[in-house]
Amino acid sequence: MEFSLGGLLKNFKSALNPKKSVLGLDIGSSFIKLVQLRKEQERAILETYGEIALGPYGKMKIGQNVKLPPDMIAQAVKDLMKESNSKIGITRVSIPLKSSFVKIMTLPFSREKNVSADVVIMEARRHIPIPVSEVVLDWWIIPENENDLEKSGEKETEVLLVAIHNDVIREYKEIISKADLTATSFEIESFSLVRSGISRGSSTIAVMDIGSAAVKMAIVDYGVMKSSVLINKGSQDLTLALSQSLGVDFAKAEEMKRGIGLSDLPEHQDIVAVMEPILDYIFHEAAVFLKDFQNKYGRSASKVIFSGGGSLLKGLAVYGVKKLTIEVEYANPFGKTEHPAFLSGVLKGVGPDFSVAAGLALGEL
């Protein structure tokens, strides 16, 4: 259902100027999350945040993935904004990685040659599986890295290509319009994750967002997203497996997952045994992704940053270190904001779940 700190933060934003406030809206498969910030003297001030479950709008349980029509999603957005005491009329909106196309293209010439839009579009036709006329297309020349220059001999130029189908943009515009909002921009969720989870100037770091329906990973190399992948398993798969294997309903299975997690107590091993095959698959795919990057670029990620609600599963960080043989830490997007000191502990605890929404808002400041 709903959760927000709109009330607790009310006194903290007494000098609110709506024109300086920005809203990040993350519409997921089971929850909608928002983060509202205000820029003040180069500082990002947290004004409010919150989340609302979509399941009940489709007569399903809290936490269940649900496919809703735009008008129902819009109503959920309205309800969330009311509960969070957010009155902003404009927002930035996330686009799921599964509804997007992200690829690093390698052009067979150095950047000294003019990389024009015509050249990129012509090359994009070879990679995008649908006509480019049916997508919103954007691209960016990736800055040179000394290690890559040595490997390529300055003969190639890497271009980050992103594309979103026109129908996807149209659907999200409809949702935002019916919620009586205006979208200033749409952003693929992976870029929002990177912005909120990684500091500028960091070396090679991976971000692993464990959502309800899927896991999204990205590798950031000196501030540039160099690779991404979608793993089609998520935290809801754990709940469904528990429900089916133990003969309990979804709500009870969700409670068991959250309460017990990857406990090492003997009496909990039947529950852990149900979840482990799914987690093994997810982390095997994650390890392959990390290895592929290492093979291509000759360097590896120094750590993995966990984000998303599924990453809060008890014991998952220890499990991740074991499976990936790499340092694991949790995203702390609210660490980039100014907020009342008494909320720091709460915000750090829920932060991974709000990484996308926070990244969206930070991108507008």
Helix (H) or strand (E) holding 100: strand 100-107
Tokens of 223: 């501030």
Return the CATH architecture of domain 3-98+167-239+269-362. 2-Layer Sandwich (3.30)
Amino acid 142: pLDDT: 84
Amino acid 2: pLDDT: 38
DSSP readout, 168-214? Answer: HHHHHHHHHHHTT-EEEEEEEHHHHHHHHHS-TT--EEEEEEE-SS-
256-276: per-residue pLDDT in tens?
A: 999 999 999 999 999 999 999
Tokens of 191: 């870029």
Residue 101 CA: distances (Å) to CA of 111, 128, 163, 247:
24, 8, 5, 39
Amino acid at 195: R
The domain ranges of the chain are: 3-98+167-239+269-362, 99-166
Amino acid 11: pLDDT: 36
Amino acid 110: pLDDT: 67
User: Can you list the residues of the chain whose pLDDT is less than 50?
Assistant: 1-18
Amino acid 203: pLDDT: 84
Amino acid 145: pLDDT: 65
CATH class of 99-166: alpha beta
Q: Give the CA-trace dihedral at 335, 339, 345, 347, to 10 degrees.
A: -70
Half-sphere exposure of 27 (CA within 13 A, CB side): 29
Tokens of 221: 């190399």
Name the 3-class secondary structure at 241: helix
Helix (H) or strand (E) holding 251: helix 250-260
Q: What residues are paired with 216 via a beta bridge?
A: 209, 230
Measured CA to CA, the distance from residue 132 to residue 138 in angstroms comes to 11
